[in-house]
Amino acid sequence: MPDRPSLDRIRVGSAPDSWGVWFPDDPQQVPWQRFLDEVAQAGYSWIELGPYGYLPTDPARLTDEIARRDLKVSAGTVFTGLHRGPSVWDATWEHVSQVAELTQAMGAKHLVVIPSFWRDDKTAEILEPPELTGEQWAHLTKGMERLGHEVKEAYGLDIVVHPHADTHLDTEDHVEHFLDSTDSELVNLCLDTGHYAYCGGDSVKLIETYGERIGYLHLKQVDPEILADVVKNEIPFGPAVQRGVMCEPPSGVPELEPVLVAAQRLGVELFAIVEQDMYPCEPDKPLPIAERTRKFLRSCGA
């Protein structure tokens, strides 16, 4: 792109997800020390905390561990089931408070909020209907607004809600309905380019249409051939990942350079955190991919 602007507003990082980490503790995952060593070695300065409990949760210890590797934290992550109504608020807030407190202590400003899965990401068991009722939509949108307000008041963090495969916030229609039903002062979006493509969405179109609502990016690609088989056979997300549906850039979709250019044109500072779902994976697999991906993103100007 000869007219490509400098991507000086995009801050690139990576996350435990790119090292095959989905759970706080799992024998198939790399130890947290190795993740921190390798994410720094691959050339990233920013990381997310990943699932709460994977990295040390003592702020002093975690500060020391990341500082001596010249790393900084961009965000924490929480899972919520707010569509279930006020009865889940107390349990939700207890979990959110734990993560938000550590996120704040690390100097980060964002909390990535992922709606709960309607089918289990390990067993593929159907847990709930994949479509929300009108009442559940109201619970979800009002609950997220309340969460955004409370997290800002208590911890000074902005929540960014993450559309995700096998959750109720997935397709273009669902994402647009969610954005149209929530207050931009309280709730914005973490656009995950891979999950949005997985569910049929166009990331560049979303950025150009709802630019003021894009508060954070996850960079990810899907393999279109594997995705076609996943869609045809209604394969759950967990098994789809094991098939390699989330692939190393630049071999998949969407093209990341146009996404980054569209994000840069918003004129605001944005994190763009690389996430390549590949749970489970061999422990030696992530680092070479991370190094190649960082080199690729540099070639895009990021």
Tokens 């208590």 -> residue? 154
53's torsion region: left (phi>0), alpha (psi -120 to 50) or beta? left
* Mean residue pLDDT across the chain: 96
The reported pTM is 0.96
* pLDDT on residue 124: 79
Q: How far apart, in whole angstroms, are the C-alpha atoms of residue 11 and residue 25?
A: 29
* pLDDT on residue 6: 84
Q: What is the share, in percent, of the chain residues with pLDDT greater than 70?
A: 98
| Bridge partners, residue 119, by sequence | 126
The whole-number average pLDDT for the span 137-151 is 98
Output the CA–CA distances (angstroms, integers) from residue 252 to 48, 245, 247, in the order listed.
23, 9, 6
Q: Determine how many CB atoms are found less than 10 A away from the CB of residue 54.
A: 20
Spatial neighbors of 83 by CB under 8 A, at least 6 apart, are: 115, 116, 132, 136, 137, 139, 140, 143, 168
pLDDT band at 4 (very low <50, low <70, confident <90, very high): low
Residue 1 has pLDDT above 60, yes or no: no
pLDDT band at 218 (very low <50, low <70, confident <90, very high): very high
Residue 293 has pLDDT above 60, yes or no: yes
Tokens 């024998």 -> residue? 27
Residue 195 has pLDDT above 70, yes or no: yes
Over residues 11-62, the pLDDT tens digits come to 999 999 999 999 999 999 999 999 999 999 999 999 999 999 999 999 999 9
Positive or negative, the CA dihedral 229, 234, 237, 242 is: negative
> Is the Cβ–Cβ distance between 68 and 79 less than 8 Å?
no
Half-sphere exposure of 176 (CA within 13 A, CB side): 12
- 50 is written with which tokens? 């990943």
The whole-number average pLDDT for the span 269-296 is 97
* pLDDT on residue 19: 98
Residue 149 has pLDDT above 50, yes or no: yes
The rounded radius of gyration (Å) of the Cα atoms in the chain is 18
The whole-number average pLDDT for the span 94-107 is 98
* pLDDT on residue 123: 79
Q: Is the peptide bond before 250 cis (omega within 30 degrees of 0)?
A: yes
Q: Is the peptide bond before 129 cis (omega within 30 degrees of 0)?
A: no
Burial of 3 (0-12, 13-18, 19+ CB in 10 A): exposed
- 68 is written with which tokens? 């001596």
Select from 178, 205, 184, 207 the least CA-distant residue to 266.
207
* pLDDT on residue 50: 97
Query: DSSP assignment, residue 203?
Result: H
> Is the Cβ–Cβ distance between 106 and 59 less than 8 Å?
yes
pLDDT band at 296 (very low <50, low <70, confident <90, very high): very high
Q: Determine how many CB atoms are found less than 10 A away from the CB of residue 262.
A: 17
Catalogue the long-range contacts made by 61-69 (C-beta closer than 8 Å, 24 or more residues apart): 62/102, 62/105, 62/106, 63/105, 63/106, 65/33, 65/36, 66/36, 66/106, 69/36, 69/37, 69/40
